[in-house]
Amino acid sequence: MFEYTNVQMRWAVFKLMGVAKNVVFNLNPSPFLHWSSLISYISICTSSWSKSLNKLNTINVFHSQVFNDSVHGHVELHPFLVKIIDTPQFQRLRNIKQLGGGYLVYPGASHNRFEHSIGVAHLAGVKAKLRKSAYRIKGLSFTVTSPINGFISPYSGHGPFSHLFDQMFIPQACPTEEWKHEDNSVKMFEYLIEKNGLTEDIEKLGEKALIFIKELILGEPLQKTSKDSAAWQYDGRKEDKSFLYEIVSNKENGIDVDKFDYFARDCHHLGIKNNFDHLRYFMFTRVIESKRKHICSRDKEAENLYNMFNLRNFLHRRVYQHKVKTNVEIMIKDALLKANNLIKIEGKGQKMVTLSAAKDDTEAYTELTDQVLERILVSTSTDKKMEAARKILHRITTRDFYNLIGEAKPVTYSYGKGDKNPMENAYFYKKNEPDQAFIIPKLQVSKFLPECFLEQTIRLYWKNEDKTHLKDVTEAFKAWCERNEFEVIFRSAMLDFRSIFSPTQLRQQQRQEGRGTAELLITSNFELFYLHFFIIT
């Protein structure tokens, strides 16, 4: 393995840029660095010599940091990223589970938002650098923010147990408010920059770097500048860099490095085979102009991308919407609701705020992580609501979960674009026509691909510890489903329905499933049906 000193690396950089003549170096020695540091540094320099010189003056390549990631191996991150990572606002992500309540179902699902964020940053940089030579767009250059925005962006605003906080707890704690973790990520990022004195650092990245990062966090323009939906609305980058908005969080078709990392990371920790190779995908991508510049893939990769969306659907069925995981998260949500006004966190001006109010106070939100459950469990409060919250958490600890009557919270399995086929917005190119972008119709890929791209189910959980009314509840739920013309499907052993359904019904079920007991599963025949938290208390 080659090692290079400070002087050698600087000389190599200038030599490769063709400007090594008459250059005076600082001859002070520095620690040895890996050759990949040089490659990483070159990849973020712009094609203009004057801009490259500015980068040398403002960015210290010798303070990059290498992380040993469990999925991607050794990952080297830019020095500005290291500054972001080494802040309390970012370090809090170490204490927020990536899969929420999934850790209580899958023992290996102990990974957190922190490592996912680093993985996304790495893949964003890899995708930007790996295929730069294949873009073949005249005058194309990457700013240093391209690999940076990935991990900073969507995750710093997550609350305890990730989506449990913004999708389950906040809608019930603050029913009149519309709140998204993406909006909070913008606020947290601004607070992080200001609190840690990084304003000057981010200004060095460019005039519109902060705007660009905020747009990537939100996945949309900060403000609409035109009523014409076809007009370019983003302000952080001009229209000729439109493809940069497709790297981290692709709103066009959902093919982005955020999914690539959580597919690989979740499968790794869950012990599930990941059948999508994102590195192969990178090797067959290039930027091609079709009205705007898009990231396009080889036509032969179309089926592989359908497999990627199938993997997403599989993970939702098997993991993200697992019936026990959902059960656990409903219980955690209930405990948080009961303790909401009793757990106080110090915010700005030493003001004490509640759990739900912490979302509006960045200082208090910095302290809000999964560890809030420990605060409830060790609380000595004799308040009835706090005692009820502790009781719910004790039930989780002893695996005394709510009873699943049927399928309470609407569960949606999709390809990520609702009932639309996301591949209708994916661009491809042919080997012999590498500069022509086109969309491949589904039937040209295979006739065995799905016709429907959205499936929903409804689950019903019984919260009460008193199980004497389960029969009546089940009958009522069955009647409700029949009135709404929902199809009833029996699957695995959960409740004994022998006293509820006729012998003929049970024999038919036994022939189909080979079991005498069954779990009630209700589907809406892939139709859109929204019923929020249909839960019996």
Bridge partner list, 413: 455
Bridge partner list, 96: none
Per the listing, tokens 């006729």 go with: 502
Question: Is 181 designated active site?
Answer: yes
Q: Using alpha carbons, list the distances in angstroms from residue 251 to 216, 247, 258, 316.
A: 10, 10, 12, 19
What is the DSSP pairing of strand 487-495 with strand 410-414?
unpaired
Q: Which of 39, 32, 30 is nearest to 2 (CA)?
A: 32
Q: What is d(CA 493, CA 496) in angstroms, rounded to the nearest whole number?
A: 8
Q: Which residues contact 206 (CB under 8 A, 6 or more apart)?
A: 143, 144, 145, 212
Angle at 414 between CA 410 and CA 419, to 5 degrees: 95
Structure tokens at 75: 């990952």
CB-count exposure of residue 143 (10 Å: 0-12, 13-18, 19+): buried
Catalytic residue among 181, 269, 278, 322: 181
- Cβ-contact 315, 415 below 8 angstroms: no
CB-count exposure of residue 145 (10 Å: 0-12, 13-18, 19+): buried
Q: Give the per-residue SS3 of 34-87.
A: EHHHHHHHHHHCCCCHHHHHHHHHHCCHHHCEEEEECCCEEEEECHHHHHHHCC
Q: What is d(CA 158, CA 115) in angstroms, rounded to the nearest whole number?
A: 14
Catalytic residues: 181
